[in-house]
Structure 1
Amino acid sequence: AVDHEETIRVLSRRSRVQHSAIFNRYKDIYGRSITKDLLNHPTNDYLSALRAAIRCIKNPNLHHTKVLHNAINTVGTDEDALTCVIVTRTKKDLKTISELYLKRNNASLDQALAKETLGDYKTFLLALLGH
């Protein structure tokens, strides 16, 4: 059984180096990554949130790329998710996220945003992306 409180404590109070060591040790012991193990429980909301948190810890820019992709490709565009990711990332992170987005989606992030957003909001997001 998973000790939820202990898991949250470890994820919230350890450094990136410590997280990396923990995830590597898990893989050494069990022969697979912790995120792959968590995929075995796709309907458990806690484990889905835990998987997302671990992915974000392991590779924040890749995680944010996926969040943007999902926000853009949902019915009605998830503007809260777009705003949260784009407004809170550094210029350097946004450059990396844009590059990852292009590689993963065969479309540029700025083109996708321009297609799915309107008016001042579109202008604002594109300005933050450097356009």
Structure 2
Amino acid sequence: MAASYKPTVFPATPFNAEDAAGKLRKAMKGLGTDEAAIIDVFRSHSNEQRVQIERQFKTNYGKDLRADLKSELGGRFEDVVLALLDTPRIYDAKQIKQAIKGAGTDEATLIEILCTRSNAEINEIKKHYKTLFKSDLEKDIASDTSGHFKRLLVAQSAANRSDAPPDTALAQQDAQDLYKAGEKKAGTDEAEFNRILCARSFAHLREVFNFYQALAGKPLEKSIKGETSGYLEDGYLAIVKVATNTPAFFAERIYHSMKGAGTKDEALIRLVVSRSEIDMGLIKEEFQKMYGKTLASFIKGDCSGDYKKMLLALIGDI
């Protein structure tokens, strides 16, 4: 599946940074806050435009937009509004830092970001990570994870995935190598799985999966579930799902952020913010196919107040 785009947030045309900054100032000036006006400005401009609005706000009013928003807003609504001001790769870098700082590690976030971004995007994340945290991304990930899962994430952060088109002979060989490394072997040769899943282009991997199915009589996902476990299994499955159907992968992630008791709000915010200008329209379609309900209905049932309104606006259901 080639990269597909169906955003739910679009650039404003025409765009006037001064007008937008003025609307935000008016929404926060005096007693009370006009949350509806803030939602309207943020949902109707692209990330690139929001960055310009933030600069214009400082120029016009000598005030920091983020500081004003923090003093006026609160809770998850504040979180999602501030997330919308970061450029995508700065936001990714901050999310990775959040996932590994302190006690415990949020492995699902590391998988979601490192296994779905392009080489260029990962290199940009590493650059911003270094600037923001004066630390090396690969080293921090290596010191926070272990074993074969660590090797998988370090391989992904090397940003060395090929962009070559599918090569039929090589795809057949890769399928055989995966079969020998798993199903045909006592134990599993994880290095071989890493070598193929982390280095081949997604288009090539799709061909590998077809050959694997013919050879093994089962899809690669089934073999991965039988041969691996834990976060390593999650990482391998993420790569397979992203290569096969990226919007379906993100639909599943969004579903799991809201399923059951409580909401994993940080994950939900990250997923909605990071996909709204790429393929949220396709994610919504996959979500409905997979779960028989609209994404909007899930958000309405799981979130409340201005937080809910902002999320609905970002997915194009306002």
Q: How many residues align?
A: 130
- The residue number in structure 2 matching 1:10 is 196
For the pair shown, the structure with the greater C-alpha radius of gyration is 2
| Partners of 1:91 and 1:129 within 8 A in 2 | no
Measure the CA separation in 2 of the matches of 1:13 and 1:49. 14
Measure the CA separation in 2 of the matches of 1:74 and 1:49. 22
For residue 25 of structure 1, what is the amino acid of its counterpart? F
**What does residue range 97-108 of structure 1 map to in structure 2 within 5 Å?**
97-108=283-294
Q: CA deviation at 1:113?
A: 0.4
Measure the CA separation in 2 of the matches of 1:117 and 1:41. 38
Q: Which has the higher contact order (CA 8 A, sep 6+)?
A: 2
- The residue number in structure 1 matching 2:245 is 59
- The residue number in structure 1 matching 2:315 is 129
TM-score by length of 1: 0.84
For residue 241 of structure 2, what is the amino acid of its counterpart? R
SS in 1 for 2:262: coil
Measure the CA separation in 2 of the matches of 1:73 and 1:113. 11
| 1:10-60 C-alpha deviation (Å, 9 max, x unpaired) | 222221221112111211211111002223357x21223322331222111
Partner residue of 1:80 out of 262, 266, 274 = 266
Q: CA deviation at 1:98?
A: 0.9
For residue 70 of structure 1, what is the amino acid of its counterpart? H
| Partners of 1:64 and 1:85 within 8 A in 2 | yes
For residue 210 of structure 2, what is the amino acid of its counterpart? N
Measure the CA separation in 1 of the matches of 2:226 and 2:196. 22
Unaligned stretches of 5+ in structure 2? 1-186
Partner residue of 1:118 out of 276, 291, 304 = 304
SS in 1 for 2:226: coil
| 1:87-117 C-alpha deviation (Å, 9 max, x unpaired) | 1114451111112212222221112102211
Partner residue of 1:31 out of 171, 192, 217 = 217
For residue 301 of structure 2, what is the amino acid of its counterpart? K
For residue 98 of structure 1, what is the amino acid of its counterpart? K
| Partners of 2:213 and 2:220 within 8 A in 1 | yes
| Partners of 1:71 and 1:79 within 8 A in 2 | yes
Q: CA deviation at 1:124?
A: 2.2
For residue 267 of structure 2, what is the amino acid of its counterpart? A
SS in 2 for 1:32: coil
**Which deviates more from structure 2 when the two are superposed, residues 18-27 or residues 46-55?**
46-55
TM-score by length of 2: 0.38
| 1:61-96 C-alpha deviation (Å, 9 max, x unpaired) | 111111111111132111122122211114451111
